[in-house]
Amino acid sequence: MEEVDRILLNSLRQSGADIAEDVESVRQLTTELIVECVVRCLRILNPALGNGVSHLLPPGMSARFRIGMCLAQACQELGYQGEIGYQTFLYSNEPEIRRLLMFLVEKLPRDSADTADQPAEKSVLLQRLIATKIKQQLASAWLPPALRTTSLIIMKISSPYVFRSLTQEYKARKRQRLQSRIQEYLKQSSQRSEVRAGLAGTPAPDLTDPRPDHRCLRAKHSRFIHTEKFTFTQVSEDLAEEETRDRELSAEEKQQLLHIRKRALDLLPDAEGNLSKLQAVMEASAQRLVSLAGQWEKHRVPLIAEHRRLKQQLDSHELESSRRLMEIKEFHEKIKTSAEEAKRKENVHRQLVLELEHLSRGVGRAAYTQRILEIVSNISKQKEEITKILSDTKELQKEINSLTGKLDRTFAVTDELLFKDAKRDEAVRKAYKYLAALHENCSQLIETIEDTGTILREVRDLEELIDLETGKKTLINLEKILEDHRAIRQENAGLAGRLREA
């Protein structure tokens, strides 16, 4: 029970109760400490119930009774099934308080550091923070160090169709850009020609003017005119080349048309023969076209089938490639997120390790585990001893029963033998009387021994009851009740005096 009290008191200290280190048992808790422990636990379990009650007992008896009733009602709302009232807190006994505190401590959450409104010790808060962080890290997925990369190179998949469409679009945009640039050059060149024509009509400036800014302006203007002349000349040459090319193409077309008309004029004198020859050539050409069409059909059907198969294969490859590309992107995002999360957890772990190193080592979990294992082993040993005692008791009971039966049978046989001879012999008659007296005395002795055992058991039970009543602190509670009764009478007298004065 001492180990249970130590664990219980340690849990209450972690919940924020101000319990001194020299308090090692529930029996040493005062009324003020009991009320404080219950209020601290209620504030963690249900802040709505615990925040409305103070953890300090007031001096007035009516206020104390009211706080006791509020605490009893709050514990019943949490599900406490035992008998509880204001007397449980004001006139407490050890078993009831231990049962109540164990109920509240079992209800406490494992990470109650955030829910308590009163600050606990720094070491306790840090232990709770470490436990919370480790729980979060254990709940999240672990990533191997080999996969903790910051970037992933993704290959871009392209197809000839996309490239062909992009090339055509690029050519169209390039052609449009060139046309707009040529139009802009032509417009600028026309504007510059107008400006030069206007400048030619204005009088020439004085060459003897010593101001250097006119010369700078003239030099800049000459460089600008030179650049513009060069650009205009280049555009003019390009336009001239285009016109020359167009004239050459039109001349070639006229030459071909002239050649065709000349041949037609040469064929006019023998028109019938030439028509028949032309008809024969056309028929031969038509037959050749028919044969070529048949051959083309023969070659076209397998080619179309092959084209469809390749197109389906290409579509399937494109779908597979796009799917794999999406998977790679998703995997890359997961790797990036996991790497960031792992880095953050490593920083938190490093910080927590540093804070843990600066803390003083208290009673660890291993000590509690070892002590619990020792208690379990002691219970096992006691169970074995109880089993052995029960088996020995059963053997003794069997032996006693067998001896009692043997004694009864022996007495019956002896009584029968002596009773037959007692009628004829005086000495046998005396022996028979002594035998009866011995049997009676032995029976009384056995009954006396059994009564003695019963009395001893009753004495033990009474001693246990005395210890239990002593643990309930009945005398101390009676003295407290008398003191509280006197205090209540004094308060009532004071109130009555105030009423009379009013």
Mapped onto helix, strand or coil, the DSSP state of residue 222 is helix
- The closest alpha carbon to 482, from 11, 111, 33, 61, belongs to 61
457: in domain: yes
User: How does DSSP assign 422-454, residue by residue?
Assistant: TTT-HHHHHHHHHHHHHHHHHHHHHHHHHHHHH
Q: Which of 77, 108, 139 is the last residue of a domain?
A: 108
- Amino acid sitting at position 203: P
Please answer whether residues 71 and 53 qualify as being in contact, where contact means their C-beta atoms are separated by less than 8 angstroms: yes
User: Which structural domain range is residue 470 located in?
Assistant: 384-482
Task: Give burial (CB, 10 Å; 0-12/13-18/19+) of 66.
Answer: middle
Please answer whether residues 111 and 127 qualify as being in contact, where contact means their C-beta atoms are separated by less than 8 angstroms: no
- The Cα 436–Cα 430 span in angstroms is 10
Please answer whether residues 141 and 338 qualify as being in contact, where contact means their C-beta atoms are separated by less than 8 angstroms: yes
124: in domain: no
Check residue 157 and report its DSSP letter.
Answer: P
112 contacts: CB under 8 Å, gap ≥ 6: 15, 44, 128
The pLDDT, as a whole number, for residue 194 is 58
Q: What is the CA radius of gyration of the chain?
A: 58
Check residue 27 and report its DSSP letter.
Answer: G
Taken in order 99, 105, 106, 107, the sign of the CA dihedral is positive
Q: Which of 90, 108, 126 is the last residue of a domain?
A: 108
Tokens of 89: 């807190």
Please answer whether residues 101 and 80 qualify as being in contact, where contact means their C-beta atoms are separated by less than 8 angstroms: no
498: in domain: no
What is the separation of C-alpha 303 from the centre of its chain, rounded to a whole number of angstroms? 60
- The closest alpha carbon to 38, from 91, 87, 92, 74, belongs to 74
Residues 230-252 as b/e (b if ≥16 CB within 10 A, e otherwise) read eebeebeeeeeeeeeeeeeeeee
30: in domain: yes
465: in domain: yes
- The closest alpha carbon to 97, from 204, 23, 182, belongs to 23
The pLDDT, as a whole number, for residue 391 is 92
The pLDDT, as a whole number, for residue 452 is 92
- The Cα 297–Cα 443 span in angstroms is 131
Total domains in the chain come to: 2
- The Cα 116–Cα 12 span in angstroms is 12
SS (H, E, C) 269-307: CCHHHHHHHHHHHHHHHHHHHHHHHHHHHHHHHHHHHHH
- The Cα 323–Cα 77 span in angstroms is 58
- The Cα 490–Cα 139 span in angstroms is 62
Read off the CATH number of the domain in which 72 is found.
1.10.418
- The Cα 90–Cα 63 span in angstroms is 12
The pLDDT, as a whole number, for residue 184 is 74
Residues 380-397 as b/e (b if ≥16 CB within 10 A, e otherwise) read eeeeeeeeeeeeeeeeee
104: in domain: yes
Task: Give burial (CB, 10 Å; 0-12/13-18/19+) of 53.
Answer: middle
- The closest alpha carbon to 135, from 102, 105, 104, 109, belongs to 109
Q: Which of 88, 108, 128 is the last residue of a domain?
A: 108
SS (H, E, C) 368-393: HHHHHHHHHHHHHHHHHHHHHHHHHH
Assessment of whether the complete model's pTM goes beyond 0.75: no
Per-residue pLDDT tens listing for the chain (502 residues)? 677 788 888 888 888 888 888 888 888 888 888 888 888 888 888 777 667 777 787 877 778 888 888 888 888 888 888 888 888 888 778 888 888 888 888 888 765 434 443 444 556 666 667 777 777 776 666 666 666 554 444 444 444 444 455 566 766 776 777 777 777 767 776 666 555 555 444 444 443 344 444 444 445 445 555 565 566 566 667 777 777 777 777 778 778 878 877 777 776 677 777 778 878 888 888 888 889 888 888 888 898 999 999 999 988 888 888 889 899 999 889 999 988 988 888 888 888 888 777 765 555 667 777 778 888 888 889 999 999 999 998 998 899 888 888 888 888 888 888 777 777 777 878 888 888 888 888 888 888 988 998 999 999 999 888 877 776 677 777 887 888 888 888 888 888 888 888 7
User: How does DSSP assign 315-365, residue by residue?
Assistant: HHHHHHHHHHHHHHHHHHHHHHHHHHHHHHHHHHHHHHHHHHHTSPP-S-H
SS (H, E, C) 28-61: HCCHHHHHHHHHHHHHHHCHHHHCCCCCCCCCCH
Check residue 142 and report its DSSP letter.
Answer: P
What is the separation of C-alpha 55 from the centre of its chain, rounded to a whole number of angstroms? 35
409: in domain: yes
The pLDDT, as a whole number, for residue 62 is 79
